[in-house]
Amino acid sequence: VNCEHESAGAAVFDIGGTWFRSAVYTEADELIGVSRRPALSHHHDPDTDVVDLQEGLVHYLEEELERLQAAHGPIRQAAISMGAALNARDGFVFNSGPLWGAGSRPIDLRAKIQERTPGTNWQILNDVTAALLRHVCAEERRDHGRTALITISTGIACRVYDYGRRCVPTDPTHGLQGEIGHLDVRFRFRGTTVPLNCDCGRPNHLNAFTSGRGLEAVVQHLATVPNSGFATSSLGATGNEHPHVTDFLAAVLDGDAWSREVLSASCQPLARILVVMLTHDPEIDSIPLVGGVAAKLGEVLRESLLEQLEELGMYQITDRDPNYFRSRVHLGSTDDDSGLIGCGRFLRHSDATDS
Ligand SMILES: [Zn+2]
């Protein structure tokens, strides 16, 4: 990352399934004028057509840019952190479960907003990439190794930064990397395989078990299975068979044994994927955990994941270096600003995601 470039204040946006946020990112690497509104999303407005939600987003970006320019003067650069699968090379948005649900449609968002606001140059990046760039830029500069950031929130995903090439490498055609949430996994609880569908509609993706929404679905599923142990948990004691994920996370933090067991089971498929990643890419030396679930559970999540990783082990490595996983997996920044800061970093260091 070239950290010497200077540029004027930029408009930065964080578009997620719960909140839309905006701010100005200054030359001094600070956020000013941060504001937010509830997201225009399928989750909040299930009766609104996807096309109308997408038009609403373009309208929001246009109006918000106008508002920021009125308050802070002309803005020539803008970047959007999107909670969506997109082509990092051209900003074409493929899909967003959190924003547009199962009826999600592709949209050339960059072209649409660029056409309406020709005086500002727009860039679009994925929210996990934005969070990764924030973390990378906060570290000491180095020219070797890789950071693999894992976000566990509504969904789950990973992005890897390559310090040697100073980029987030992506598929040369499709512009994707690290969508581990849509890898096929097997989730087992007390010896029984649990089948659940992912938000994308396909069965048994990591998302379906290990994300915030996945954990909620797992708990609600187990609540209907005789002898799953749900009835013995503090959640079962309430008589509510549809506990919200926040109830589950609170039970985990309270030390409820059954809830801890569910968390361990859900960390196992993620641990398996990480072991494969580390086997293929031995230069990954930092694995920050971020996202709402990581923010809520903190060290409890880290320890649960480490327990699964250490159980699996790395061939010929962990016997010699029992600290191998522990020295890599850590908690990242879990405030709400990673999307906005990541956008600012991306604009100021525009070589950051060149391949
Ligand atoms: Zn999926």
Per-residue three-class SS string for 212-256: HHHHHHHHHHHCCCCCCCHHHCCCHHHCCCCCCHHHHHHHHHCCC
pLDDT, tens only, 227-245 = 999 999 999 999 898 999 9
Confidence band of 97 (pLDDT split at 50, 70, 90): confident
Q: How far apart are CA 20 and CA 104, in angstroms?
A: 18
Ligand 1: distance of its center to the CA of 98 in Å? 12
Write the pLDDT tens digit of every residue in 187-221. 999 999 999 999 888 999 999 999 999 999 999 99
- The arithmetic mean of pLDDT across residues 64-82, rounded, is 95
Mean pLDDT of 164-172: 95
Quote the ligand 1 centre to 197 CA distance (angstroms).
Answer: 8
Q: Rounded to the nearest whole angstrom, what is the distance from the C-alpha of residue 271 to the centroid of ligand 1?
A: 18
Residue 62 alpha carbon to ligand 1 centre in Å? 31
- Write out the two tokens for 251: 């039970």
Give the pLDDT of residue 103.
Answer: 87
Instruction: Please write the tens of the pLDDT for every residue from 110-123.
Output: 999 999 999 999 99
Q: Distance (Å, rounded) from C-alpha 63 to C-alpha 65?
A: 5
- Across the range 13-39, mean pLDDT stands at 94
As a whole number, mean pLDDT of residues 60-68 equals 97
Ligand 1 centroid to residue 207 C-alpha, Å: 6
Asked if 126 contacts 85 with a C-beta cutoff of 8 angstroms, the reply is yes
Q: Is 7 a residue whose pLDDT tops 90?
A: no
Q: How far is the CA of 244 from the centre of ligand 1 (A)?
A: 21
Distance 307 CA to ligand 1 centre (A): 26
First to last CA, the chain: 12
Q: Which pLDDT belongs to residue 43?
A: 84
For residue 57, the CA-to-ligand 1 centroid distance in Å is 24
Residue 333 CA to ligand 1 center (angstroms) comes to 26
Distance of CA 200 from the midpoint of ligand 1 (Å):
4
Distance CA 325, CA 274 (A): 10
Please answer whether residues 20 and 14 qualify as being in contact, where contact means their C-beta atoms are separated by less than 8 angstroms.
yes
Check residue 31 and give its pLDDT.
94
C-alpha 299 – ligand 1 centre gap (Å)? 27
Rounded to the nearest 10 degrees, what angle do helices 212-222 and 257-280 cross at? Answer: 130
Residues ≥6 apart with Cβ < 8 Å to 208: 187, 196, 197, 198, 199, 214, 217
Name the pLDDT band for 102 (thresholds 50, 70, 90): confident
35 to 66, 67, 134: CA distances (angstroms): 14, 11, 19
The CA 94 to ligand 1 mean position distance, Å, reads 13
SS3 95: strand
Q: What is the pLDDT of residues 177-196, one digit of tens each?
A: 999 999 999 999 999 999 99
In this prediction, residues 46-75 reach a mean pLDDT of 95
Q: Quick one: what percent of the chain has pLDDT higher than 70?
A: 96
Report how far ligand 1's centroid is from the alpha carbon of 238 (Å). 31
Q: DSSP letter at 329? A: E
Task: Say if CB 242 and CB 220 are below 8 A apart.
Answer: yes
Q: 211: CA distance to ligand 1 center in Å?
A: 11
d(CA 273, CA 271): 5
Provide the whole-model pTM. 0.92
Instruction: Give residue 350's pLDDT.
Output: 61
Cα(182) to centroid(ligand 1), Å: 4
**Beta-carbon contacts of residue 99 (< 8 Å; ≥ 6 apart):** 15, 16, 17, 39, 41, 42, 53, 57, 83, 84
Residues with CB under 5 A from ligand 1 (ion): 182, 198, 200, 202, 205
What is the Å distance from ligand 1's center to 83 Cα? 14
The predicted pLDDT at position 80 comes to 98
- Ligand 1 mean position to 269 CA, how many Å? 14
Confidence bin at 275 (pLDDT 50/70/90) = very high
| 349 pLDDT above the threshold of 80 | no
Residue 6 in this model has a pLDDT that exceeds 70: no
pLDDT digits (tens, 9 = 90+) for 243-255: 999 999 999 999 9
Q: Tell me the average pLDDT of the chain.
A: 93
> What percentage of the chain carries pLDDT values higher than 90?
86
**pLDDT in the model for residue 8:** 55
Measure the CA–CA gap between 352 and 133, rounded to whole angstroms: 8
Q: How many angstroms is it from 231 CA to the middle of ligand 1?
A: 30
Average pLDDT of the residues in 61-81: 95
pLDDT above 80: residue 352:
no
